[in-house]
Each structure stands twice: as structure tokens, then as C-alpha cells.
Structure 1
Amino acid sequence: MWIAALVLVLVAVGVVMIYNGLVDLRERGDASWSDIDVQLKRRHDLIPNLVEIVKGYAAHEREALEAVTRARSSAMEARGPAARGAAERGLAGALRSLFALSESYPQLQASGNFSELQQALTAVEDDLQRARRYYNAVTRDYNIRTRSIPSNIVARAFGFRAREFFQAEESERAAPQVRLDDAGS
């Protein structure tokens, strides 16, 4: 009888410890997602100023400016790591195009405000990369825990579900292809 009670107590303690570990990882994941959200908001807040500065020097580049504005709106409306990641990749591409376009305007490149915004965006990108790495590390640990025995039994019983990673697509990880044969056309 004592042995059965002891086994039951040990199982209960184990379940509680596993449950608390899962809760801890879930909360750290939520907090790290909030950190990503903060960095994305900082980036989104810089973009209207950037667009206004570029408009002042390159007003006829309307298509590029509108692409950045549309991409920003899409990124702000996206929900969840996968959708948010896709929208943010679109925004990053639009920003890259805008910065490439800005190289055609020496006065814009010389503008102190433009340089400050470029530096601020670079700092935000660095902070965002750190936040993304931490979120993905916590998500990996959480997902491993929800899929490993015996914690997967507790996870399933209490409704813990796997989380999505926030990452770049395979095409973004590859080095960009540079073609000089089209440059003079």
C-alpha cells in the first residue's frame, strides 16, 4: 500500500514538474515574441519618415515608395509567426529596393536625416535578429519538450501545442545572384 502511494506521489510530482516546465517555456516564448513585436514596431515606425525623406529627393520614384508603404501595411496586419515572417520578408525586400534606388541620388545619400534613419534601421535589424534567435531557441526547447516522452503525455493532456518558428525562407538564406550582363541594357 505504501509503495503504491509513494509511486502515485512521485508520478504526481513528476507531472507537476513537467507541467511547470512547459508553462515556463510557453511564457518565455510569449515574452520573446513580444520582444520581436517591439522591434518590428520600431522598424514600422521609422518607415514613414524614411519614405518622406526619399519623397523629398526622389518624388518621381512613386512605385518604389508605394511598394514600401504597402509592404509596411501588410506587415503590420499580419498575425502569427509564419504570416508575420512572410510579410516582414516582403517589407525587407521593399526596403532593400528603396535603399538600392537611393544610391542613384547623391543628395539623398548625403542627407543627414537619411543617414540617421539608415543607421536606426540597421540597429533595429540587429536587435530584431537577436530577438528572433532567442524566440527560435525558446520555441525549439518548447517543441522538443512537447514531443519528448514523458513530457509529451503531459503536454497533450493539458493542451500544449507546438509553436511556429520565425525564420527566413530558404531563398533568403542563399547568397544573392549578381548579373552584370543586364546592367547596360
Structure 2
Amino acid sequence: MIVAIIIVLFILVVISMYNSLVRKRNQIENAFSTIDVMLKRRFDLIPNLVATVQQYAKHEADTFAAITEMRNKTYASLNDSEKADFDKMFSKVRTQFFAVAENYPELKASENFLQLQRSLNETEEQLAAARRTYNASITDYNNAVQTFPTNLLAGMFGFTRKAVLTIPEAERVTPDVKNLFNS
């Protein structure tokens, strides 16, 4: 009788650990889908920004061409890797885009532009929060996959460590604001 109780308890512990790993993996997928929604929202704002700024700045073709090139793809057709590349490219182009807008006082004062800028800033804040949630979910999952005794079960069922989102080295450098507007 005692052996049967020990076996049942062992089975319950294994089931509990497995279910915990599955919940953590699903939490990661949920957190990534939040990032995906924010990237889609940001992606959808691009045509409005381009249309608004193009009315004021016909000769800034390079910046607009880069943004338009990104927008010509359908978001649904992008895979996760392309979405990550889009995110990196947009972050770089966004800075140039608003630097161009600085040259046009009428544009900066335009209610349409200000509303789009607020919407984009809000999206960026939500995207940053979603990335923090995603990385927290990854850390929680990785802890479960790498710590004893769940690491034994994780290895048996193919749960592997996942990588957290990181920013490129170039974005970690503090910008030189003094020279930003002198170039």
C-alpha cells in the first residue's frame, strides 16, 4: 500500500512539473503575441506618417523611401525573423524620420502629425512593456528548464532554453545629442 502511494505521488509530481513547463511555454507565446500586436500597430501607422510628412517634405526622399519600402510588405506575410528585422530597421529609420520633421515647423505644428506622433509614442511604450513581459516569461521558463528537478523532465520532453530579446549594440550607445542636429 505504501509503495502504491509513493508511486501515485511521484506520478502527480511529474504531471505537475510537466504542466508547469507547458504553462510557462504558453506564457512565452502569449507574451510574444502581445509584441506582435504592437509591431502590427506600429506597422499600420507608417502610411499615415508618410502621407502627412510627404505633404511638407518632397525632397527628403531617402528617408521616406526606406519607410515606404518597409510598408510595401504585408505584415501578415512576414515571419518572426522578418518582424524582428523590421523592428530593428524601423527603430533606426524612426529617428531619422522625426529629425527630418524637425526641419518643417508647419509639419510639427500640424494636428494630424502631432496625433500620429502621440500614437506612435504610445505604441513604442506599449511595445517596450510587451518586451519586458516577454523577457520575464522567458526568464521564468529558462529557470524552470534549467533548475532541478524540472530540468530532468524538461530534457526528457524536449523543453529547451530560449533566448531573451536583446537590442543591437549600436542602440546601447548613448546618443550624442549635441551633434545630432549639427549634421
Query: Taking structure 2 as the reference length, what is the TM-score of the superposition?
Result: 0.88
Distance apart, 1:29 and its partner CA: 1.1
| Equivalent residue, structure 1, for 2:142 | 143
Question: Which shows bigger deviation, 6-15 or 35-44?
Answer: 6-15
In structure 1, what is the equivalent of residue 69 of structure 2? 70
Aligned-residue sequence identity (percent) comes to: 37
Is contact 1:139–1:163 with CA below 8 Å preserved after alignment?
yes
In the TM superposition, residue 157 of structure 1 has moved relative to its aligned partner by 1.5
Query: CA 1:73–1:21 in 2, change beyond 3 Å: closer, same or farther?
Result: farther
The residue aligned with 1:120 is 119
Where in structure 2 are the equivalents of 1:30-179 lying within 5 Å? 30-72=29-71, 76=75, 78-80=78-80, 84-178=83-177
Separation in 2, partners of 1:23, 1:182: 50
Distance 1:18 1:149 in 2: 11
Distance in 1 of aligned mates of 2:167 and 2:180: 29
Quote the Cα distance in structure 2 between the aligned partners of 1:12 and 1:74: 50
Provide structure 1 residue ranges, at least 5 long, that are not aligned to the other structure. Answer: none
Structure 2: gaps of 5 or more residues: none
Give the superposition deviation at 1:140: 0.6
Question: Matches of 2:107 and 2:160 in 1, distance apart?
Answer: 49
Match of 1:8? 7
Q: Deviation of residue 67 (structure 1)?
A: 1.2
In structure 2, what is the Cα distance between the partners aligned to 1:73 and 1:168? 25
Q: CA-to-partner distance for each residue in 1:39-81, whole Å, 9 max, x for gaps?
A: 111100001110111111101111100112234567946533x
* 1:57 alignment partner, SS class: coil
| 1:10-39 CA distance string (max 9 Å, x none) | 221111011111111111111111111111
Query: 1:75 & 1:167 partners in 2: Cα distance?
Result: 25
Number of aligned residue pairs: give it: 182
Compared CA separation, residues 60 and 160, structure 1 to 2 (3 A): same
* TM-score w.r.t. length of structure 1: 0.87
Mapped to 2, the partners of 1:141 and 1:163 lie a distance apart of 10
For residue 144 of structure 1, report the CA deviation from its aligned partner. 1.1
1:149, distance to aligned residue in structure 2 (A): 1.4
